Amino acid sequence: MSQAIQFINVSPVDETAPGRYSPVATAPKLTTIVAAASDLVPMLRERAQATEVARRVSAETTAAFRDAGFFRLMQPARYGGYEYGFTAFIDVITELGRGCTSSAWACAIGTIHQWLIAGFPEEAQDDVWRNNPGAYACVSYAPTGTTEMVDGGCLIQGRWQFVSNVDNSEWVILGAQFPAADKASPPAPGFVLVPRTDWSIEDNWHVAGQSGTGSKTVRIDKPTFVPAHRRLMIADAASGSSPGTAVNTNRLYRVPMLSALPVCLVSPLLGTAQGAVEEFITLCGTRVTRGAVAGAGNRLSEFFPVQSRLAEASAMADAARLLINRDTAEVERLTLQGQPLSVDQRIRNRRDHAFAARMARDAVDVLFSAVGGNGLALDQPIQRMWRDASAIVRHITLNWDAVSSMVGQHLLGLTPKGQY
């Protein structure tokens, strides 16, 4: 198996690249962090079915992620973080995805949103990390609650769905529409930071894929005050000019949000595709046919269709990761050089987030089509990977119909309708 795994790995970690280099002298090397993720893969595989049944990532697995330093990866150095970039994030989360998609997804949400918290005003960052540097947030971007502006901040109330890893999070980032002072003007979209004491969890996550992510609903049943400093406008985050850049001077905190943040949804799936290839190789190495038209006692690995599908899946897994790494590395390089991203580059990145996710899903699908009846058992990893991958590509941020139409509009000289 080792030769096959090496074949689909993209490249060794380049610790001199902008996003894979930490400016923090005391930070562990990225190779050390990635190795820690690799060491957790057997444990994640062993717990994957239990994670799915529990419909959440366990406190024990979360503690392992915390101990390995994953939640510090993109956190500001002022609070003990390492200030790595998005490409380092991809390396770590993809590795975890080889073991358990849901666990990698939950870790990705907590890890990457340290970067988004760093965009809030300094006082909000202090609220989160001053007394608990290890704190992190879950998130629901859709502004489904109500927001009322009051002196010193706003009042929020409502239900926010699909809040992954909510059980293990100390804070939540919620989407909000902030009414304009001029009643004739449309509201402005943004985020608010809300501590665990101010919301409850509605346990309604019963799904066919990504069950272990614990993506339940956050409820705030009565108007709850959020001070103004815990507000971040999407326009600022999308342009790379968030208030937090005044105190977090690392230029990686100026990356335009939509050009890179969606990798938190893609990276677990990149790892899942790689993990499915590995699991398929293991399955083929031990399985022989039972009879029927193929005859009994033949090794599965000797069948041409099996060999061909394995090659196809490994190529798609490799291509998906190369695409995401190329785009994200370019975003980091240009941002560190102080150069803006063009509309062409922004829309291309959104295209590739969705297309790479689809390729990774297709890699798992190709393998699942060849596992036979035994592969349908609930303790067989590839069927769970197939369901998880199929669920991820249905996320609106990665939905190919939505993203591809925006890309096509841009290529045809029309005004692109979508978020980029």
The total of other beta-carbon atoms located within 10 Å of residue 246's CB is: 10
Cα(354)–Cα(126) distance, integer angstroms: 35
Predicted confidence at residue 2, as pLDDT, reads 39
Q: Is the C-alpha dihedral spanning 270, 271, 274, 276 positive or negative?
A: negative
- Check residue 294 and give its pLDDT: 54
* Predicted local confidence at residue 391, as pLDDT: 98
Question: Measured between alpha carbons, how far is 287 from 299 in angstroms, rounded to an integer?
Answer: 6
115, 109 in Cβ contact below 8 A? no
Of 161, 139, 165, 164, the C-alpha closest to 62 is 165
CA–CA separation, 21 and 12 (whole Å): 14
Q: Which of 30-44, 279-293, 304-318 has the lowest mean pLDDT?
A: 279-293
- What the block records as the tokens of 271 is 């790892």
The band of 361, judged by pLDDT with boundaries at 50, 70 and 90, is very high
Closest listed residue to residue 85, CA positions, set 138, 174, 28, 18 = 18
Calculate the average pLDDT of the chain: 94
Would you say residue 223 has pLDDT above 80? yes
User: Residue 119: which of 27, 259, 238, 267 has the closest Cα?
Assistant: 238
By mean pLDDT, which of 259-273, 299-313, 406-420 is the weakest?
A: 299-313
pTM equals: 0.94
User: Which pLDDT tens digit goes with each residue over 235-254?
Assistant: 999 999 999 999 999 999 99
**Range 166-177 average pLDDT:** 98
Least confident of 73-87, 133-147, 277-291: 277-291
Q: Which domains does the chain have, with CATH numbers?
A: 2-134 (1.10.540.10), 137-242 (2.40.110.10), 259-411 (1.20.140.10)
pLDDT tens digits, residue range 84-129?
A: 999 999 999 999 999 999 999 999 999 999 999 999 999 999 999 9
Task: Say yes or no to pLDDT of 1 above 50.
Answer: no
State in Å, rounded, how far the first CA of the chain is from the last one.
40
